Structure 1
Amino acid sequence: MTNTKRRRMSAALAAGALLPVAPAAVSRPAGDPPGETASVHPVQPETLSFEPNGWIPNNPRLPVLVYRSAVQLSGSDPAALFEHAFARNGWPPVWRNGIYDFHHFHPATHEVLGFAGGRARLVLGGPAPIGREVTVNAGDVVVLPAGTGHCKLEASADFLVVGAYPPDEDIGISRVGLSAAQWQAMQQVVFPASDPLSGREGPLARLWRAA
């Protein structure tokens, strides 16, 4: 994690805008973990689009991307495989944990979630009827554009997630609606330079630029 991101996280924590996630920052070497290489499958992601849902803005322009069985899990530390793949493709990993069991969103950054263990039922897009229930399993990856509501309904005891973000973005979460100025700022969130699994030639750029 960069010093800039640490400062932003500290300020958000002090203001009560960011709920802490533990364990906190993750630091990994540039190469693959010893004896463990991330095997990424070139899958075409599912796309899910959500309109605003009450206080949850979602992102009417950019779709959620769901990559099924995208990472082949192996070795003693499957989470490290996601961390390396994300870091290699310009999405530095920030945390390992689960997912909050209440609706929330990130107004100032896109987010990628790598599911390193177990399974869970999530709700994306906020409450029904706009929101949608999605089941995720170990090896899946989900990219959430800024503003997308998400929460956990239930999860297995071994559920483990790796969270990563484009560099130097404010990763604070929100549980209240956005002002007009905040909505405009959300629309200007920096476009990711690459797909978190397959880099600049991956499907994210094609699918999001076409949106």
Structure 2
Amino acid sequence: MEATLATLGLEPVENGSLVPERMTFADDGRIPNTRLATLLFRSRGLDTQLDREAVAHCFERVFTTNGWRSSWRGGVFPYHHYHSIAHEAFGVLSGWGRLRLGGEQGEDVDVRAGDVLVLPAGTGHCHIQASDDFLLLAGYPEDQRELDLIRDDPTEHDAAVARIERVSRPARDPLGGELARWWP
């Protein structure tokens, strides 16, 4: 698995572990967000021998090995939304994209091919801008087979918060690290 991570530019940097950037976002009354950190694992650059299908295959293998099932390929909706019954991971297959995380008052984050983004249930996300070839692979923990999609609607907020509290935490992040290290 280490060889696959290396081809994706995701090499361990601290005590043999990949270390993500960590971001948290406040509840704004429309998007609940969560106290759990959004995780961004930055790639140092993909192996130049890989085409987009090979990158997808690598991410699918790594995600599946670590208990995150691959679900779809595509982009992010251009409106603020979140999921209240599942955590979500994105592996960037190609191009670059700018996403706003955390709702309207959140933070813009740029991701590029090889990066992995882990959004805890309740975290708002929205497409802002992207290259023409921007493509993601989405994955979800094995025990989270259903996915809801909730827009930034205050009438949905309280019920969503209750559902978010019940979402299980997988043992590992999609790249194989102990998730409890980032989500205590």
TM-score of the two chains, using structure 2 as the length reference: 0.84
3-state SS, counterpart of residue 109 of structure 1: coil
8 A contact 2:171–2:178 mirrored in 1: no
Change (3 A) 1:111 1:70: farther
Aligned partners of 1:70 and 1:141 also within 8 Å: no
1:50 is matched with 25
CA distance in 2 between counterparts of 1:148 and 1:71 reads: 26
Count of residues paired in the alignment: 169
1:83-94 map, 5 Å:
83-94=60-71
1:194 lines up with 2:172 in the alignment = yes
Q: Find the partner of 1:79 among 49, 56, 60.
A: 56
RMSD across aligned positions (CA):
2.0
Distance 2:113 2:87 in 1: 21
Q: Which runs of 5+ in 2 are unaligned?
A: 13-17
8 Å Cα contact 1:38-1:72 kept in structure 2 = no
The question of 1:67 aligning with 2:8 is answered: no
Amino acid at match of 2:121: A
Q: Is the 8 A contact 1:41 1:71 kept in 2?
A: no
User: Structure 1 residues 195 and 85, CA, compared in 2 at 3 Å: closer, same or farther?
Assistant: same
Q: Give me the TM-score of the superposition, normalised by structure 1.
A: 0.74
Kept in 2: contact 1:123–1:134 (CA 8 A):
yes
- Once the two structures are superposed, the pairs formed by residues 83-162 of structure 1 within 5 Å of their partners are 83-128=60-105, 131-162=106-137
Runs of 4+ in structure 1 over 4 Å off = none
Question: Per the alignment, do residues 69 and 37 of structure 1 end up closer, same or farther by CA in structure 2, a change over 3 Å counting?
Answer: closer
Q: Does 1:174 align with 2:150?
A: yes
In percent, how many aligned pairs have the same letter?
A: 43
Q: Deviations over 1:1-54 (max 9, x none)?
A: xxxxxxxxxxxxxxxxxxxxxxxxxxxxxx9xxxx9453422310000111023
